[in-house]
Chains A and B, each alone.
Chain A
Amino acid sequence: DQQVKQNSPSLSVQEGRISILNCDYTNSMFDYFLWYKKYPAEGPTFLISISSIKDKNEDGRFTVFLNKSAKHLSLHIVPSQPGDSAVYFCAASGSGAGSYQLTFGKGTKLSVIP
């Protein structure tokens, strides 16, 4: 049973446009959400996070939105750049789980076309 779902395996966007990556979760105990970016042959790199007490967090070109009632979060990248091409993983954690282990989605491969 997948607790974190990224339903789009891939996404193509023109350079300069907005990229929107989506993520859904099912576990109500999750209270912290993160996005990681992964290039080939490298480990995942932390990008941005959001606590469940917020509905939005911004960091430069990256904004994460959280809709708790819908158990949905999204990552917006504006403007998209070719260097953003990577696999993006959504992850969630919850203190109720007894530790802060991360539950990951399967990832969305973003391709930004010059």
Chain B
Amino acid sequence: DSGVTQTPKHLITATGQRVTLRCSPRSGDLSVYWYQQSLDQGLQFLIQYYNGEERAKGNILERFSAQQFPDLHSELNLSSLELGDSALYFCASSPSGGDTEAFFGQGTRLTVV
């Protein structure tokens, strides 16, 4: 158990809808990262938050947004969903913004139908 909690584990929704994925980092970790793993793809970095502020952005679509709350949990919002958004979404956390070893949650499997 990495200590990173993601909910829900599975999500099935229709095209055009909006969903919110939630992540609770390990106790004491200030940084949260979101990654997307599509079929046959490696993990693609989406976005990083550090202590409530956006630290880095990767290949995140404009339809996607994230935030980190004062209690350090984070949410990833995906809107106007398309079939191609079906993927595993992982959250990871690390103690500070400059760590290289991140601890991953079990992921949320999103299926868009």
Query: Is B4 within 8 A of A101, CB to CB?
Result: no
Task: Please pick, from A101, A105, A106, the residue contacting B45 in the complex, using a CB distance under 8 A.
Answer: A101
Interface residues of A in 73-114 (CB under 8 A from B): 89, 91, 93, 95, 97-107
Chain B's closest residue to A36 (CB) is B104
- Which stretch (A12-20, A43-51, A62-70) binds chain B? A43-51
When chains A and B are docked, how far (Å) is the Cα of A113 from the Cα of B113? Answer: 38
Question: Which of B11-19, B35-43, B66-74, B75-83 is near enough to bind chain A?
Answer: B35-43
Q: Which of under 10, 10 to 19, 20 to 34, or 35 or more describes the interface residues of B?
A: 20 to 34
Are A43 and B42 interface neighbours, CB within 8 A? no
Q: List, sorted by A's number, 8 A–B pairs whose CB atoms are closer than 8 Å.
A: A32-B100, A45-B104, A49-B101, A100-B94, A100-B99, A104-B42, A104-B43, A104-B45
Question: Residue B98 at the A interface, CB < 8 A?
Answer: yes
What is the CB-to-nearest-CB distance from B109 to chain A, in angstroms, rounded to a whole number? 9
Q: Which of B97, B100, B107 contacts A93 (CB 8 A)?
A: B100
